[in-house]
Amino acid sequence: MSRQAPPRVLTVAGSDSGGGAGVQADLKAMLALGVHGMSVVTAVTAQNSLGVQGAWELPVEAVRAQYRSVVDDIGVQAVKTGMLASAELVEAVADLLAGTDAPVVVDPVGVSKHGDALLAASALDSVRTVLLPVATVATPNLDEVAALTGVCVESEDDLPRAADAVLALGPRWALIKGGHLAGDAVDLLTDGTATHWLRAPRYDNRHTHGTGCTLASAVAAELAKGADVPEAVATAKAYVTGAIAAGFPLGGGIGPVDHAWERRRPGG
C-alpha cells in the first residue's frame, strides 16, 4: 500500500541563485518542517552573499501556467508569496490567489538585505489594494511597514500602531517583524482582537540572509499541517530563531540561516 502524501505548500517567489533566500530558502524550510514544497518562480535573480547582481521577471503567462499546473493537479494546503517584482505580477498573483481556499501567507518583499530593490516602487499600490486583502497572514518587516503604511517603527512600543495600519489594508492577521530593532527579536501578531507577542533572544550573527523568507514559509508549512495562525507563527518563530543562531558564513558577505539546524550534530 502506498503511503499518504504529506501536506503540500506552494511558494510564489523569486529564485536566489545563492540559495539563501527566495524560492530556495522557502523549499528548504518546507522540507525541514515536513511538508511537500512546490514553487511558482516569478523572477530569477543572480545573487550571492554580496548582493543582487541582476534580476529578470518572468512573463505573467509563465507565472499563471506554473500556478495552474500545481493547483489543478497536485493541490495546495497553503501558499506563501515572496518577491513579486512588478505591479503586473502582483496583480496576476493576487487574482490567482483570490480563487483559493488555502491559507495565504504574504511576505511583501521590497528590498534585499543588501538594499537591492526586489519590487518596483510602482507595485506598492497593487500590494496594498489587491494582494494584502487576499492574505491570511501578512509578514512585513519594518521597512515594508513604512513603505506600505507610512508608519515608522522606532521601538517595540510602535509595533501595535504598525499592526493596526497593516490590518487596515485587509489581511486577516498581521505579523509585524521587529527583527530590525535593537534588543530582543520581538514580533507582534494580531488579528485586531487577539494579540500575541513573540520574543526571542537576538543572536549577534551577521549571517541572516533569508530570515524573512524562512519565517513566512515556516508559517505556511505549519498552517498546511493544520495549526491555527497563532500556533503556526509560534512554531515558525522557534524554527527561524534556531536557523538564525546557526547561520553560517558563505562567500565574502552575508551568509544564510541554516535551514537544517535541527538535524546537525555538534561539529557536523
Ligand X SMILES: Nc1ncnc2c1ncn2[C@@H]1O[C@H](COP(=O)(O)OP(=O)(O)OP(=O)(O)O)[C@@H](O)[C@H]1O
Ligand Y SMILES: Cc1ncc(COP(=O)(O)O)c(N)n1
Nearest to 117 by CA among 80, 143, 89: 143
Q: Let me know if 211 is a catalytic residue.
A: yes
Crossing angle for the helix pair 22-32 and 229-245, to the nearest 10 degrees? 110
Applying CB under 6 A, among 200, 227, 234, 250 the residue interacting with ligand X is 200
**Interface with ligand Y, residue 246, by CB under 6 A:** no
- Which residues from 238-257 bind ligand X, rule CB under 6 A? 240-241, 244
Over the window 117 to 156, marking each residue x when it contacts ligand X by CB under 6 A and - when it does not, the resulting string is ------------------------x---------------
Stretch of 59-67, 107-115, 160-168, 177-185 lying at the interface with ligand Y (CB under 6 A): 107-115
Give the whole-angstrom CA distance, residue 120 versus residue 131: 15
Applying CB under 6 A, among 210, 223, 225, 259 the residue interacting with ligand Y is 210
- Strands 137-138 and 78-81 come out as unpaired
Give the whole-angstrom CA distance, residue 200 versus residue 186: 6
**Interface with ligand Y, residue 93, by CB under 6 A:** no
**Interface with ligand Y, residue 81, by CB under 6 A:** no
Give the whole-angstrom CA distance, residue 127 versus residue 65: 21
Give the whole-angstrom CA distance, residue 158 versus residue 148: 15
Exactly one of 19, 22, 210, 255 is catalytic; name it: 210
Applying CB under 6 A, among 51, 133, 170, 179 the residue interacting with ligand X is 179
The catalytic residue positions are: 177, 208, 210-213
